[in-house]
Structure 1
Amino acid sequence: MLIRRETPADQAAIHAVHSEAFRRDGNDPPVEAPLVDELRADGDLINALSLVAVRDSEVVGHVCCSRARLGEDTTTAVGLGPLGVLPAHQRDGVGSALMHAVLGAADALGHGLVVLLGNPAYYSRFGFVTASDLSITAPDPAWGPHFQARTLAAYQSTQAGAFEYAPAFSRI
């Protein structure tokens, strides 16, 4: 498996990954696939933090980070998500490989925090903690322990306050 940055040629495959990974019962299409498209169109998708997992020349997974605001700061924190893996490749280490790669890349780029909304049982293995433990306020208080943050090398305890995702998140 190869983890690399997304290229323009990957966009349809990335859309397909999230459409399949987040497919729900019924006819409602998952919001994650158009979310990535909107983040990209708005210029909020961070190119260096939009990674694909490739097996046998096929894109089988994708993770991305987007610009975010933490208090008045728009440079140190990023929003992670979505993270998606094609169902046939789930529980095969693809998601973990993507998480390790994107966290390492965010750290290398000098970001202090990565913030996400997700399952604490899954994301705690990557060092995520409840964001409120770091004095980071969720956009929606009902998110509780599912709103999580991971500190990186550039983190400073003054990086706190209300977190705001890129505008595309509020449109979904």
Structure 2
Amino acid sequence: MSIRCEASPDYSKIAEVITSAFGQPNEAKLVEAIRNSENYIPELSLVAEIDGNIVAHLLFSYIHIISNEILPVLALAPVAVLPQFQNQGIGTALVQYGLDRADELGEALIIVLGHPSFYSRFGFVQSTYYGIKSPFEVRAEAFMVKPLKNYEIKYTGEVIYPQLFNDV
């Protein structure tokens, strides 16, 4: 397996992977909307390949925390692995690669809404431990954060997702 940044020729295959993984096109539409926004980070939109075929995709994009100032942080969403390749460590490898890459790029904090049993393996913890509030009603343990090397205490407040997250 190899992991690399996505390229424009990959877009249709990535959409197929995401739609297959989620059983609906909403998340693929979200990825397309993010690509066409100022929140897109090309270096943090990653694919996993096996024998030259894309089998998984992961996207980090910018969202914000509102407190005394507006602070950019990363959202990890979505993470998609083709169903026939799930439970083989591909998603785990892709997430770890992405976290390491985000740290290398000097990002401070990552936010994810997901399964605590999966994301806690990577050091994600409930956001309220850091004084960070979800913008919507979810189980507290499912809204998680992971501070990176550049994290500072000033990253507290309420998370604000761009409107494009609501549009799909």
* TM-score of Structure 1 vs Structure 2, range by shorter chain: over 0.9
Residue identity opposite 1:171 in structure 2: D
Match of 1:14 in 2: 14
User: Is 1:146 matched up with 2:142?
Assistant: yes
Deviation at 1:79, TM superposition (A): 0.7
1:120-159 Cα offsets, whole Å, 9 max, x none, are 0111001000111111110113342111100100001121
Written as runs of structure 1 = structure 2, the 5 A alignment for 1:1-150 is 1-23=1-23, 29-71=24-66, 72-75=69-72, 77-150=73-146
Supply the RMSD in Å over aligned alpha carbons.
1.2
Q: Which runs of 5+ in 2 are unaligned?
A: none
Question: In 2 relative to 1, CA 143–31 (structure 1 residues): closer, same or farther, beyond 3 Å?
Answer: farther
How many residues align? The count is 166
- Cross-structure match for 1:26: none
Letter in 1 for 2:122: F
Contact 2:71 2:155 in 1 (8 A): no
* Residue from 151, 159, 163 that aligns with 2:155: 159
Percent of aligned positions that are identical:
36
Q: Secondary structure at the match of 2:135?
A: coil
TM score, norm. by length of structure 1: 0.92
Instruction: Quote the offset at 1:168 in angstroms.
Output: 1.4
Contact 1:127 1:150 in 2 (8 A): yes
Alpha-carbon distance, 1:31 to partner: 1.5
Is 2:165 the partner of 1:169? Answer: yes
Q: For residue 74 of structure 1, report the CA deviation from its aligned partner.
A: 3.6
Q: Is the 8 A contact 1:39 1:166 kept in 2?
A: no
- Residue by residue over 1:6-35, the C-alpha shift from the partner in whole angstroms, topping out at 9 and shown as x without a partner, is 000110111011100001xxxxx3411111
In the alignment, structure 1 segments of 5+ residues that lack a partner are 24-28
Look up the SS of the partner of 2:70 in the other structure: coil
